[in-house]
Amino acid sequence: MTFFFDNNLSLRLVEGLRAFGEDVVHLREEFPPDTDDVDWLPEIGRRGWYLVTRDKRIARKPAEIRALRQAGVGAFVFTQQKDPLLWDWVETVVKRWAELKRWANDHQRPFVAGIPERGRIRLL
């Protein structure tokens, strides 16, 4: 199961997860950094990857939601009220990682799931 991290999350975070054996890819490793979401979503869907992003507004972007659904992508969105600093992101991702993987395994794509600071992952 591969997780594709959007450009709004740190490449260093992805490199750290990979160093611990996780199957993760960062947008900048596959596409130019300014590539529109609607252009890369079909490709990650074709590859069967899951999206991890902090773009809380994705659920209100019709073009992105349409592309996500058409591509069959499962998307996880961090929904914290405040944007954490880098180390807080590391802590949040590590704390929630096993839960995120279980959730992906248990739910059929396409979906958009929110990961709150506290509480369970839920569909948006």
Domains assigned to the chain: 3-123 (3.40.50)
- pLDDT at residue 83 tops 80: no
Omega into 33 within 30° of 0, i.e. cis? Answer: no
* Whole-prediction pTM: 0.93
3-class DSSP state of 104: helix
For 15-60, the pLDDT digits (tens) are: 999 999 999 999 999 999 999 999 999 999 999 999 999 988 887 8
Beta strands at 111-115 and 122-123: parallel, antiparallel or unpaired: antiparallel
For the purposes of burial, counting CB atoms within 10 Å of the CB of 63, is it exposed (0-12), middle (13-18) or buried (19 or more)? exposed
End-to-end CA distance of the chain: 22
Instruction: Report the 3 state secondary structure along the chain.
Output: CCEEECCCCCHHHHHHHHHCCCCEEEHHHHCCCCCCHHHHHHHHHHCCCEEEECCHHHHHCHHHHHHHHHHCCEEEEECCCCCCCHHHHHHHHHHHHHHHHHHHHHCCCCEEEEECCCCCCEEC
pLDDT at 89: 80
pLDDT at 124: 86
